[in-house]
Amino acid sequence: MLGIAERDFHIIKYFSSQVMISGGKVIEVSEPTMSFCPLASRLYKGFSRTAGSDKEALKRAIKEAIESKIREYGLFTGKRQLTFEEIAIPYGASELMMFGLKKRMIDAAVVVCEGVGTVITNRPEVVQGIGARLNSLVVTTPIREIIKELKRLGCLIASRKGAIDQVSGVKTAIQNGYKNIAVTVCGASAGRLEEIRRLENESGASITILVVCTTGIGEKETDMVREYADLVWSCALSGIREKFKPLAKAQLSRSIPVFALTDKGKELTLAYPLDLPLAARRELCHR
């Protein structure tokens, strides 16, 4: 019998549901625990406030949203689009790192890619290609074509067999001479933020921690984010907004706020270009 690590199997978290993917198709969607997400409602059909009470309809909308990404961008397949230089999500984490790399505020980004695990890149178009349309990755298994292409693009692969280990990724980046590193960490893994800060202190490198996908995190994780993160995305949780807004040194966006909790985080937000369309500039609210 094949184990998960020996077959094509991936799990992401989207709209509070666990979404399981294999063979380029969504094979299962767990019941969502929330009823509305402003970003999902903006990007895809079936996520309006009125749809929130119909769980089966939401599950169908989730399935279609993920399968549209598979069809259009090759996610979870060997045809994965891995370079991109346009803004997909205003003030998204990959957008911020893309501009940070372009302006040399950071020299490497430690991110997660399906089919690979933890990846280090110094190329703006690659960090955006990986992250622009990928939701919170929970489990993944190797996809040979994605690994091969990322290596061709000069990326370092920090994990084996699809392991997601951002601490190992930061360590690998430091060992390869990078000094100004940005790393994304999902809210559920906030317990490892202290390890990343320890690596920063021991190595002398500057590490900017971006905490993403905070939906559903508990008090313990929230406390760790407060203590160790530089930037945090509030996602669909009003509770996160209430806790972090008073602490923020800067805020990006009103509809889905991004809070800079440190001077280092605030500095990275300055990488975002000012020559944006008017609608986007209205969302930008630096303090």
Question: How many other C-beta atoms lie within 10 A of the C-beta of residue 280?
Answer: 15
Percent of the chain residues topping a pLDDT of 90: 72
For the cut 60, the answer to whether the pLDDT of residue 285 exceeds it is no
Pull the structure tokens for residue 71.
Answer: 């069809």
With CA atoms as reference, report the closest residue to 184 among 226, 234, 136. 136
**What's the mean per-residue pLDDT of the chain?**
90
pLDDT in tens, 93-106: 999 999 999 999 99
What's the average model confidence in pLDDT over 139-161?
Answer: 97
Lowest-confidence region among 6-20, 101-115, 199-213, 259-273: 6-20
Which has more pLDDT, 144 or 53? 144
pTM: 0.91
pLDDT in tens, 32-44: 988 777 677 777 7
Residue 182, classed as helix, strand or coil, is: strand
From the DSSP assignment, how many helices (H) and strands (E) are in the chain?
11, 13
213: phi then psi, degrees, rounded to nearest 5: 55, 65
With CA atoms as reference, report the closest residue to 253 among 276, 226, 286. 286
What's the average model confidence in pLDDT over 84-93?
Answer: 94
Contacts of 62 (CB under 8 A, 6+ apart): 14, 15, 17, 19, 29, 32
For the cut 50, the answer to whether the pLDDT of residue 287 exceeds it is no
For the cut 80, the answer to whether the pLDDT of residue 233 exceeds it is yes
What are the CA-CA distances from residue 285 to residues 98, 189, 253 (Å)? Answer: 20, 28, 6
pLDDT in tens, 264-283: 999 999 999 876 654 444 44
With CA atoms as reference, report the closest residue to 113 among 10, 16, 209, 15. 10
- List the beta bridge partners of residue 230: none
Pull the structure tokens for residue 285.
Answer: 């609210």
According to the model, what pLDDT value does residue 236 have? 61
Lowest-confidence region among 56-60, 200-204, 212-216, 259-263: 212-216
Which has more pLDDT, 66 or 53? 66
Lowest-confidence region among 34-38, 49-53, 127-131, 207-211: 49-53
